[in-house]
Structure 1
Amino acid sequence: MTAPLRQLLRAAYLPDEAAAVSRLAKETGLDGKARDHIVSVASDLVADLRSGGQVGLMETFLAEYGLSSMEGVALMCLAEALLRVPDDITIDALIRDKIAPSDWAGHRGGSESLLVNASTWALMLTGKVIGGSGATAWDIRENLLSLVRRAGEPVIRTAVTQAMKILGHQFVLGRNIDEAMMRAEGMIDQGYTYSYDMLGEAARTASDARRYFMAYCQAIMAISGQCKSHLIYHNSGISVKLSALHPRYELAQRNRVLAELVPRVGSLALIARNAGMGFTIDAEEADRLDLSLDVIERVLASPDLKGWDGFGVVVQAYMARATFVIDWLYDLAERLDRRIMVRLVKGAYWDSEIKNAQVEGLAGYPVFTRKASTDICYLACVRRLLAMTGRIYPQFAT
């Protein structure tokens, strides 16, 4: 049945969103009573969290700089991006782009946190120094600001980078696998497990791909020290991006990708199996999905992985074809007599997917344009996964 399912997947690349949501809403199986119960439980959870009294730095920042404001978005972009920007020139450009245009003065003294208020003053002054007004060469005030701007960039860079690292630690566990594992120890002692991911862009050259491959090997060996249970699901694992392991990970290079990438991924999966951990193939952009499924099918079919339940795949619910992907994975597991892990997420490339579709002049979008549509698809996928536990171990994320 695999071939017909792949045809369904391809046909649903640019769906009619209204029709897709209508289909998915029926598949959720939720009537009015069930939805009311969900709202009640969710409201109680939020109320309990807000009354808990243990408010962290991240929550305090978000209370002042909501993601609905330009300043909040700027802070989140900086916090996520600065930890992986390699050079000072790019850091300075990023700080100028994100901080200078924003209205930091409007948040002055608005928080109960001394640290947040101090940060607001620092951001406001930084914006004034690096923003400038584009005055003429005879404007003495602007010339002085320009001098401070040039002389002060290293200081500003250091201060902003340090401040954003505090926020960035909410998103990034560590700068390398050793640092990440050290920070994870406290939660692991409480019974939690982690699926470690390596931040970075896709490989651009063959040397990039080799470097990522060796980094994944080293990370698997390091994580193996945390794998103490004979049950894979009770151990930490690793997530791998296929685009990091091949410099031409694109459909036009399909034959080359399958010849070169499948052995690399198979080698990593075998090392993970021997280490007793989960090994998950991370999601890519929509136009790479078909190629990713080809790689997944060939790697999973290896006799070396037979009897191992640690192979996993990430499915993105912001695509209307997510349910078809789950059906295809279930069919593949049945055909190969495997049990695999499927991690359901909402999606990570929404902005670029929308923009690329517009640039290419496509008739539609490969992802939903409304968050509510993604939520409905997520619920439909949850119901599907929970009905497939004979072949699939469901995992749920955001």
Structure 2
Amino acid sequence: FQSAGQRCSALRILYIQEDIAAGFLTMLFGAMDELSLGDPWLNETDIGPLISTQAQHDIQKYIESAGSEGRLLKQLKAPNLGSFVGPAVIEVNGIQDLEHEIFGPVLHIARYRAEDYEATIDAVNATGYGLTFGLHTRIDERVKNISAQLRAGNIYVNRNQVGAVVESQPFGGEGLSGTGPKAGGPRYVQRFTQPYRSISQVEDANQPSMTLVQQAIDDVYRPEPELLAIDEMTGPTGESNRLGIWPRGVILCLGPTLDDALGQAGTARRCGCPAVIIAPGASGPGCLDGLLNRAHLGELKGFEVVALASDDADLRLARLALANRPGKLIPLCASENLDQYCVVERHTCIDTTAAGGNASLLTQIDEDDDGDAD
């Protein structure tokens, strides 16, 4: 409810294990009763107004609709002035019930059984959005498993999920929530530089049908993604910050020459990404001979990046087609730094004090000859 829910990383839906749901909701509602709505300039104010009367109208209408369906669990009264909306808790079956983002002080609650937590992660991933995710558990193996399965840019464990700090928690999502690299991360500044770009001229060649191209993309072998590297980030004592580097997915290697495409595919595979090659003279598994009709980039599915070291006119056609695609943005790499485009960054921040302390600190204790800690 901070900032009246008007933050990109504000909690939109909370999954509660059904075993603890009743007690948790009692605590949540009690905490809500302590919130103060009013002038945001005052120190005692917890929640201010929404950005406009239109936002107020739309969100209040949404809350009233949930109330008419018996799904409104609690709502605080709002000041009778300005564009305030009282914080509300609404029950849903799962994230699939949220048709669009409610950018205001509305928390959705869904219950799940402990044995179904993997299905819950699958449902979250299926939305295509992946900015921030919070997890509260003292089971280290659960943290490890969920972090590996989840496609989200920032994962917060046993702490709040807002307030990312530069160099500690590089910020940014994936899928419909961003293309990377993360703001405040080690790869951010590089993206603003102009890398060397070799240009190959496009030659006339046959154009494989979109059906054949889609089949090649669908048939390419997709290994289970594996963690490529971990960057240990700085942070305060009692907090672990690790930036994981993962393969992005299928890379469409369009050359335009065969040598270009083979080089692009080599880079993709070194980053753990499957590669589909479409270039004159290409042959073998995952390869098609010819030049892709750039307009087909607007309709093909199942790839994450386009690699094309072509001239400006050809690149413009590719960019226009990619820009007209529905859904998430597909990056186009026309330079030598394809390796930066082949990976996604996923940051995990853990409050180690919540589980009784940071066990790794114990390994740093030097013992004296008597076996006593210094």
TM range (shorter): under 0.3
Q: Which has the higher helix share?
A: 1
TM-score, structure 1 as length reference: 0.26
Q: TM-score normalized by structure 2?
A: 0.28
Q: Which one has more relative contact order, counting CA pairs under 8 Å at least 6 apart?
A: 1
